[in-house]
Chains A and B, each alone.
Chain A
Amino acid sequence: MRLGLRSRIFNMLIYFIIMILSISCIIPVLYIISVSLTGYEAYYTNGPKLIPQDINLKAYNTLLVDGVKFLRALYNTLILTGTGVSLSIFFTTMTGYAMARKRLPGRTIILRIIYISSFFSGGLIPLYLLLRAIGLLNTYWAIILPGVINIGTCLLVKNYFLTTLPVSLEESARLNGAGEITILIKIVIPISMPIVAVIALFAAVGYWNTYASALFFIRSTKKYPIMVVLYDMIERSGMEAIGPRMQKYTSPSAGIKMAALVISILPIMCLYPFLQRHFAKGVMIGAVKG
């Protein structure tokens, strides 16, 4: 098909715009990696460059050796995310599966109640007071529990099960004498692995990125997850993050801050290739099928 000149220019323009936007999304990350690897003097003379000069790992070294609070925050976040993701997977699959059972009496009402309830909430203060009354304040449960089952994710799970679990499969299993538990273990669980991956990845990103909830509900600085400590490093002096052995600098150098950033996003960046493939597809299936 012969493309007219105007069409071709149009086409090139489209590619150009999209590529610029895409690059704009990745360049900032490249910058922080670069700065984290740049030597102290080189950075403060020449400024941040895309390609690091005087590459050394000193920033990482200092951070990992002296950054006591940073490391502790990292550990905290690992625990928080690990627990949160496990619980989230368990309960969300449960709920999504239940939502997918078409023949359930009262299903319509139950689903409606769930959807509508997701629009209500008491707000921040009542939540805080409730958590205080229960005694969950200053624990990670305060961060995990209020959102452990995300309704949006449940919908994805529901649609997934609706497309992959035909009723005939279950019926034939029952005819062959399988009880509820057997069906669950031998059929449902193996089939649900892909969607479990999606839930896990969504939840992991969500919990890893916790910031506001931690600010609201956690009091002791020892329990802060990594985003809180990071913010302190970037915005304020960051003495919270670096231990007292930093005598060379009064506040963490840019290199160290960037090293901290890089370490913080490392897990997400590692998971990202997997995320991207499953997420986009999963969300799309959920959206189109409806």
Chain B
Amino acid sequence: MSDIGPVSGRSIAKIEEEKLPSRTKKEKAAFSWKSLRHSILINRYTYFLFVPVFLQLIIFRYVTLYGLKIAFLEFNAYDNFKSPYVGLENFKIIFNSYYFSQILKNTLIITGMRILIGFPVPVILALLLNEMKKESIKRTCQTFLYLPNFLNWVILYGIFRILFNDSDGVFLRIFNALGLKYSNFTKDPNTIRIWLALSGTWRGMGWGTIIYLAAIAGVDPALYENAVMDGAGKWKQAIHITIPAIFPIIAISLILGMSGILQEDFQQILVFAGGNAALQEKTTVFETWIYGMGLMRGAFSVATALGLFQISIGLLLTLGANWLAGKIGYEVLW
């Protein structure tokens, strides 16, 4: 589940650039069944070590994959065997639904904004951080910056409430002192989507710099020295050396991010809009709809059909992203 663990499946591709070991010519020539058996014998215990992870994968991924079949049934939750096959009926219900276009719009807008606003910030921040020479200040700042990433949305929401409250917030008092009128934009249906993107960016910007900083650190310092000797200022250095050097990582992150466009961090949405009916219209995305329909109202088949739709599009996008990444010359998954 995505709320456990700091690194989602998406960033695996970022982290894992290892070219899996290939055999040298000599080793290839020396292959024989006997040596294979010998290797397996020595390492037999190691295979057992893989059992837990495979169990987890099989049970929670492949079996649930099989469970997707109920998207094509009219699932009877009380007696599984009495579920008649209804083909694409559930899908028709979804696509014809009054809500579908609005929810699709919401999903695309919210994710789009998250990427648009949320993507450049960690990159730029990493570039800026890299320029900081004083280690002590840099490290303190980083410590602060990483903090919101470890706080869950419930906590952050509680904090935002105090800050942005209409009747009693910090910003209210500041605005009043300045003579300006204040309205709580975190609860306004018209601005909630931007707010989701902004707060999401704020939360993740510190942690997001880590990957980019690592990449920047890998750039050959000699390049910078040459540039300085040629009279290039910081700005030119950044544009002509740093950015091209970390471009592969940026591109991969961007592509992976975009391929996740239909599946998003919906915990934030659950928390921000969960109790608030007025916000629901503009913030319901596929996942929250699935939750509402499926777990709260029990329409399992329809909800699963929607999930299947979402997963297939997501898969297509991920495959496409992978192919694109391959074209940049970056071997990602296969």
Mark interface residues in A75-114 (1 if CB within 8 Å of B CB, else 0): 0000000001000000100110110011111011011111
Name A34's closest neighbour in chain B (CB-CB): B162
| Interface residue? B18 (CB, 8 A) | yes
Q: Which of B65, B210, B333 contacts A280 (CB 8 A)?
A: B210
- B57 in the interface, Cβ–Cβ < 8 Å? yes
Complex: how many Å from CA A236 to CA B275?
7
**Is A41 positioned at the interface, with any CB of B under 8 Å from its CB?**
no
Q: Which of A22, A113, A148, A156 contacts B144 (CB 8 A)?
A: A22
Q: Which residues of chain A in 187-246 are interfacial with respect to chain B, using CB atoms and an 8 Å cutoff?
A: 202-203, 205-213, 215-216, 227, 230-231, 234-236
**A272 contacts B147, C-beta separation under 8 Å:** yes
Total residues of chain B contacting the partner, CB 8 A: 110
Q: How far is the CB of B79 from chain A (nearest CB, A)?
A: 13
CA distance A70 to B39 in the complex (A): 55
Query: In the complex, what residues of B have CB within 8 A of residue A175's CB?
Result: none
Given A126-B70, A287-B14: A153 in contact with B64 (beta carbons within 8 A)? no
Inter-subunit contact A101/B270 (CB<8 Å): no
Contacts of B227 in A (CB 8 A): none
A120-B62, A126-B67 given; A268·B151 CB < 8 A: yes
The stretch that binds A, out of B94-102, B168-176, B188-196, is B168-176
B50, CB-defined interface residue at 8 Å: yes
Residue from B20, B60, B214, B290 in contact with A287 in the complex, judged by beta carbons closer than 8 Å? B214
Given the complex, which residues of B lie within 8 Å of A257, measured CB to CB?
Answer: 158
Assembled-state Cα–Cα distance A105/B44 (Å): 10
**A32 to B159, alpha carbons, bound, how many Å?**
7
**Complex CA–CA separation, A272 to B15 (angstroms):** 23
The residues of A that contact B145 with a CB separation of less than 8 Å are: 21-22, 25
Task: Tell me if A147 and B14 are in contact (CB < 8 A).
Answer: no
Q: For A146, what are the chain B residues with a Cβ–Cβ distance below 8 Å?
A: 1, 56, 60
Say whether chain A's binding surface is mostly helix, strand, loop, or mixed.
Answer: helix
**Within 8 Å CB of A47, what residues of B?**
168-170, 172-173
| A203–B150 alpha-carbon span in the complex (Å) | 11
A18 adjacent to B132 (CB under 8 Å):
yes
Query: Which residues on A sit within 8 Å (CB–CB) of B154?
Result: 209, 211, 227, 230-231, 234
Q: Is the CB of B49 within 8 A of A97?
A: yes
Q: Indicate whether B113 reaches chain A with its CB closer than 8 angstroms.
A: no
Q: Is A135 an interface residue (CB 8 A)?
A: no
Tell me, yes or no, whether A290 is within 8 Å of chain B by CB: yes
CB nearest to A154 among chain B residues:
B53
Contact with A18, one of B141, B218, B267 (Cβ below 8 angstroms): B141
Give me 28 A-to-B residue pairs in the complex whose CB atoms sit less than 8 angstroms apart, sorted by A's number: A14-B132, A21-B205, A22-B142, A22-B206, A95-B50, A98-B46, A115-B16, A119-B315, A120-B65, A121-B311, A122-B63, A122-B67, A122-B68, A123-B311, A124-B290, A125-B304, A126-B67, A126-B304, A129-B67, A130-B64, A146-B60, A209-B3, A209-B154, A212-B266, A216-B291, A227-B154, A279-B146, A288-B215
